[in-house]
Chains A and B, each alone.
Chain A
Amino acid sequence: MPSFSSLKNLIPVCQLPAGASARICELTGDDSFCQRVREMGFGEAALVTKISGSSTSLCLVKGTRIALNHRAAMSIWVEPLPANAR
């Protein structure tokens, strides 16, 4: 479990509903994965919008569509943003 489990409003990207936006809070994968995700601009504090998918997720980050498999989507923890803040 991630170290921030006490923060109840954090969910992995795979659980983010389609159409919802969120802010990336923490990456929990291995070092190599975290690094690549950050290098692609998908790092902490980036805004992400889920387009579709449950087992494989399709997201929009900084205008780029990114596909994540389930394992990758489980490793990116986000804080959903209220609808009026999107």
Chain B
Amino acid sequence: MNLPSHITPPPRRRPASAPDRAPVYAIVGNPNCGKTTLFNALTGLRQKVGNYPGVTVEKKIGTTWSQHGRPIQIIDLPGAYSLAARSPDEAVLRDVLFGRREDTPQPDRIICVVDAANLERNLYLVHQILDLGRPVIIALNMMDMAATAGLKVDAAELEGELGIPVIACEAVHGRGLVELKLAMSRVELPLARHRWDVPGPVAPAVTDLQASLRDHDARSPLIARAEALLLLTDFDAVRVAGSRPLSSRTHQILDQWRQRWEAEGTDWSGLLIRSRYDAIGLLCRDVIVRTRETGPSRSDRIDAVLCHSVWGWAVFAVIMAALFFSIFSLAESPMNFIDEQVAGFGGWVKGQMAPGDLRDLLTDGVIGGVGGIVIFLPQILILFFFVGLLESTGYLARAAFIMDRPMSKVGLNGRSFIPLLGSYACAIPGIMATRTIENARDRLVTILVAPLMSCSARLPVYLLMIATLLPGDTMPAVTKAAIMLGMYALGTTGVFFFAWLFKRTLFKSAPQHMIMELPPYQPPRLKEILRHMFERGWLFLKNAGTIILGISIVLWFLTAYPKHPNPDATATEQIAQSFAGQAGHLLEPVIKPLGFDWRIGIGLITSFAAREVFVSSMGVIFGVESAKDDTTPLRDALRAAHWPGGAPLFTPLVCLVLMVFYVFAMQCMSTVAVVKRETNSWRWPLFQIAYMTGTAWLVCLVFYQVGRTLGY
């Protein structure tokens, strides 16, 4: 059988110059071109997920096997329309391909995944990548969708034109993977016959910049030319931590040319883009054949409803309601199960060890602390399942489209909706999702307001306070649900208010342009959704769990030391004179105007690690755990608590004020750590702590004092 040129078996003896190690491939492509599906299909479960140091852009490396059984490493790079970066995601793609990152080796070969149904636009990025002079394989994905759209895309013709392997595939159905792996297994890959004429007015600038990049920035000649072309269209020059800066000489040449063109009125960037598209148009002339005219597609028909000004909102409301119902109802049983298992395990450890500090550290500090985070895993997984489902079907982009209008009222755009939605489960994945927001100011504002969304860690506090406020037998469930919804509404209002405030003060700027591709609707790919869900769940546990573990140990120390002089002292007496207790007493003058005493103060201090710690702290402080034969639940203990003068401590007003405090206060060390990493500075997390906790104090003060004046 005659095989196409690109899958010709390699020679028996490898050339002496061939590197001994297997080549490293980078997989690149536009957003929504099926790049990640192809990466998953090639690597299976052999993936390592991490972050590029200094930024929260995900770094995915996987392994596949060549036809000779040798491992091939593949780096999955973020999706981008162009190498002229507009966001940290795109900047990482550019910097890895140009070898600018210290932490990632420059890939030896590149797989460009292109959507066959949108070939010309997808080839723009390929055209820029071919400038790099690296071996490239083109994976012509979504051939089935191109056929549905009435297009015949000739892979052999494109291969003939470019002189590099072009593999037709359908990653979703696993078609074309064998051919792709065979091409990847080749010892040597041809370089592209890549010809295009740089427009006359900009050609001298390319030559100057190329020379400077070669001489002052130590670039190879080919990379220098590609980078020179890129610099002319890289207006924002988004730099991310870990990428090497350019020399001052290169900057100087670039500035000189820009000033000259501006004076002459030359649109140098437009010229370069048009010139590339002209070359792509010529390339595709015989590659794409329209076989038939098609009417409105399935996606068009669905969009007519889902993006409709009335029906669109109705469907959006139903989907959001289903999402929240699932998070709070489906998660209940697994959360109870985890809670019981953690408590059971803690009890078992307690039974196996002799009483002492080590036992308390393990049971109260380590198991209690980490258990407090693990319990939220079901909600996080359900949220990620839903987000994955919406993303996989193509609806998530429509949700951002629908939400663009309300978001624009506060100066943000639809892109901020997805991170904020994620923050209802946990602010950490929400903040990590902001990396797709192109505008740096919008991104920062979204990061600053995301923790105001009522995350699942606030739930235990709300539930305890509602139980204390409204005993189960005296108030209908609907009142409790209304209070709970009120807290969520308050947090969401806070998000919109502070976003509006920040966009008019700290981050004042004109409203931003938003341009966003809406991918075609597709049936959900359950395998990918589940993989994504578990990957995210694991990252959540790793990021949050490790920090919580450390903080829990520190907090345990603060509540366990110094030891009470009386060895028979109760847990309540011990905590009262511990470091945390002393801090609670110190804090009391500040929180007394809110109706809180020093015991609540300890809860506020300990729950700075994570909000849900407040509940366990109250249990320790009010001696519920130590009351061996007493089955009185915590809420009854709280309702029985009094000020020294005899007045009840947890009045309905104080319970409400405490809930309001948790709506606004920045009580989450893990979020602080993630914001620090995302913004690469302590300035913004410290500002966030100050503005959120300051607001919480002020709102609670007004709430409590007005409530007292009204006689509550």
Contacts and interface: CB of A to CB of B under 8 A. Distances in A.
B516 interface: yes
B118 A72 contact: no
B408 A58 contact: no
Most buried by A among B273, B308, B519: B273
A72 B515 contact: yes
Most buried by B among A38, A69, A72: A69
B84 A58 contact: no
A40 B269 contact: no
B518 A58 contact: yes
Interface residues of A, number: 36
A40 B617 CA distance: 54
Contacts of B235: 31-32, 35
A72 B517 contact: no
A67 B404 contact: yes
A72 B513 contact: yes
Interface in A34-86: 34-44, 51-56, 58, 60, 62-72, 75
Given A32-B236, A35-B235, A62-B118, A67 B397 contact: yes
Given A62-B120, A67-B401, A67-B516, A56 B414 contact: yes
Given A51-B307, A63-B149, A37 B270 contact: no
Nearest to B145: A63
Nearest to A68: B515
B514 interface: yes
Contacts of B124: 39, 41
Contacts of B149: 63
B303 A52 contact: yes
B86 interface: yes
B404 A62 contact: no
A42 B118 CA distance: 13
B517 A65 contact: yes
A30 to B, nearest CB: 8
B244 interface: no
B515 A40 contact: yes
B273 A67 contact: no
A43 B274 contact: yes
B52 interface: no
A53 B513 contact: no
Nearest to B511: A71
Contacts of B357: none
Contact of A67 (B233, B269, B514): B514
B273 A35 contact: yes
Nearest to B115: A64
Contacts of B336: none
18 contacts: A31-B269, A34-B270, A36-B81, A40-B517, A51-B300, A51-B303, A52-B308, A53-B307, A53-B309, A55-B404, A58-B401, A62-B120, A64-B121, A66-B517, A67-B404, A67-B516, A69-B404, A71-B513
Given A32-B86, A52-B307, A67-B515, 18 more contacts: A31-B269, A35-B273, A36-B515, A40-B515, A40-B517, A41-B120, A41-B277, A42-B515, A54-B309, A56-B401, A62-B120, A62-B121, A64-B118, A65-B303, A67-B414, A68-B514, A69-B413, A72-B515
